[in-house]
Chains A and B, each alone.
Chain A
Amino acid sequence: MRVLYPIIVAALLAGAVATPATAQEAPTPPAQHWSFDGPFGSLDIAAAQRGFQVYTEICAVCHSLEYLHYRDLAGIGLTADQIKAIAAAVTVPQGLDDNGEPKDGPATPADQFKVPYPLPNPLQQGVTHTNEKADRAAHNGALPPDLSLIVNARPGHADYIYAVLTGFADPPPDMKMQEGMNYDKYFPGHQIAMPPPLHEDQVTYADGTKATVDQMAHDVVTFLAWAANPEMVERKQIGWRWVLFFLIMAGLTYAVKRKVWADVH
């Protein structure tokens, strides 16, 4: 029956070798170094704050961040006063006034991030969901996705978002582009409706960091990774405690087991 082992090994190898054959048409995004990588990874607060600036000044023109509230910004290290000021600078719908007319007013930290398109029910900021028709109409038929979960919602995750943001290029001469579409090396199908969003020195960072395209892309992806997984830092901290606890418990329990079983033969 030893003859079976080569067959098993061959079957497993066939599985391993055949895998790359299904690689997608877009190249794999190159792996970047992220502050939140790995079990020891944390959040680069400065990069996330710069990324928030990039989102606010550039992305927010088209992309919503529906699942975030202004209060959540404490997670990237902003103080209560800073958050209040950021929210107060935004005008959002605030239900009806005493005459039954729609009322606008400055946002508070408890408000959801303002969405950049008319809401299905203009009275109600909050209870989400895009007015997809208005959104498409404003963007030449394309629908800018909500970015709250974008880092989780694409295979390749942060690396992929970074690759798309920095992957704009001239199309190869033999490629026929549809009207209004832009060539991106990493976008599936290579034709993306979003024009290259980032340009050198488009934002002025308060901390003096040079706003290159790569820098802005890296910062905004760090911010979006936080937006998709705001619990990440706390999760890993708690995780280490549990892992240590179970390691110690496993050791102790095994010692007890040895002792209990010592007399059994």
Chain B
Amino acid sequence: MAGQQQSEFSNPLINWIDTRLPIFTMMQKEYGVFPTPKNFNYFWNFGALAMVTMVIMIATGIFLAMNYQPNAALAFDSVQHIMRDVNYGWLLRYVHQNGASMFFIVTYIHIFRGMYYGSYKSPRELLWMIGVVILLLMMATAFMGYVLPWGQMSYWGATVITNLFSAFPIVGHPIVTWLWGGFSVDNATLNRFFSLHYLLPFVLVGVVFLHVAALHIVGSNNPLGIDVKSPQDTVPFHPYYTVKDSVGLCVFLLFFAVLVFFAPNFLGDANNFIPANPLQTPADIVPEWYFLPYYAILRSVPNKLLGVCMMFGSILILFILPWLDTSRVRSARFRPIYRQIIWVWVVAVIVLGVCGAHKPEGIWVVLSRIGTLYYYLHFLVILPILGKLERPLPLPESISRPVIGGGGPIPSGATARPMEKA
């Protein structure tokens, strides 16, 4: 038949569908036989883990929304109703609540993997930038989700974060009023945050689709950071990586289950068990752990506007990371200095996180300023200069080469030759 595509599937029903809409051919191509570098380590699990977590979040969120009341007078009560009266409501909610933390844990590790192995470099710049959009969407969604239980920290967190926009001259206060839908965080704010908290995850799904589509155009990076040279360098995605991702998934879900069932409020704040009270500010307003480093950057700057810009800048800077890093070698394995300073950056982020959890007094101000300074120094000064100065180790000829003959450490010199092209 003209215009109809040929299908290799023997099952008549699948064949019938596939000749008209080749989704099975597509799945087979993109997830079945998709050629994937054969040298992934377990760091390459985390994209799949983030995908699974996203599905878990959407599934639990839909059922929570069936029982939740986005009304300032009822929200806190309805969450308790879910926890106490809805069948397995506590399970849905604890999975959703801790799922947000798990989503950030796996995403942060996923981002770190990209930075360590240079996955953002040509030709994967756009793939990386779409990833940064995903991170921003996640952060917006998580922030608005945290407001929904309408506890003290929900309310005051929302107040502090939305007030950040008031730092901008002229447009600042109108923006804040517009965000609130009134002159303080109130019912209108809760309503719109609920609406957006339900919308953004589906936007996220769309952007994740683009992320995966872009990945399948340029192909995966790998721990050696060199291009796939021949079919010998790859294995089909299934069964090799479906099974390897499954191993990681089981371990991840084990960790997730321990948190949900044995310490569901470990990452939470005691204040959020107190209903929102606009007349009483908690002693210390702290965001969830995954926002602490940004919060520390914000508070490390004495000027509010500059602090807000530095905070947003700390993520926006990731958009231009592919051009800030001037080294043409991708993997940190072959960059003797980068593979050390990337850890200094990690320590700086962790120090910032610890600072974010403490009141900005004494040592914490000093530490968060040093951390902020180093964070920016890493991207704006060290990476551009390092790429020019650093002498990379010789790169292996291909992915298959170094593992031939026992798979020991990468032989230096003998099989290696200078990098031709990034």
Point out residues on A near B: beta carbons under 8 Å: 1, 4, 7-8, 11-12, 14-15, 18-19, 21-22, 38-39, 67, 72, 127-129, 145, 148-149, 152-155, 157, 228, 230-231, 235-236, 238-240, 242-243, 246-247, 249-250, 253-254, 256-257, 260-261, 264-265
Contact = CB atoms under 8 A, between A and B. Distances in A.
B90 A39 contact: no
A1 B339 CA distance: 10
Nearest to A12: B347
A148 B81 CA distance: 12
B74 to A, nearest CB: 8
A151 to B, nearest CB: 9
Interface string B235-259: 1000110011011001101100110
Given A153-B271, A231-B90, A254-B247, A236 B262 contact: yes
B265 interface: yes
A15 B354 contact: yes
A228 to B, nearest CB: 8
A218 B277 CA distance: 30
Nearest to A7: B344
A239 B259 CA distance: 9
Given A246-B257, A264-B240, A128 B77 contact: yes
B363 interface: yes
9 contacts: A8-B343, A12-B347, A12-B350, A15-B354, A235-B90, A239-B258, A243-B257, A256-B243, A265-B407
Given A230-B84, A250-B254, A265-B407, A260 B344 contact: no
Interface string B293-331: 000000000000000000000000000000000000000
A231 B247 contact: no
A72 B261 contact: no
Contacts of B271: 153
A152 B270 contact: yes
A260 B187 CA distance: 55
Contacts of B235: 264
Contacts of A246: 250-251, 253-254, 257
Contacts of A67: 77, 80, 84
B347 A11 contact: yes
B270 A39 contact: no
B84 A8 contact: no
B285 to A, nearest CB: 14
B264 interface: yes
Given A243-B258, A246-B257, A253-B250, A22 B359 contact: yes
Given A67-B80, A249-B250, A264-B235, A154 B270 contact: yes
Contact of A18 (B94, B246, B363, B407): B363
B274 A148 contact: no
B274 A153 contact: yes
A142 B84 CA distance: 29
A14 B367 contact: yes
Interface string B87-124: 00011001000000000000000000000000000000
B364 interface: yes
A46 B246 CA distance: 45
Contacts of B260: 239
Nearest to B274: A153
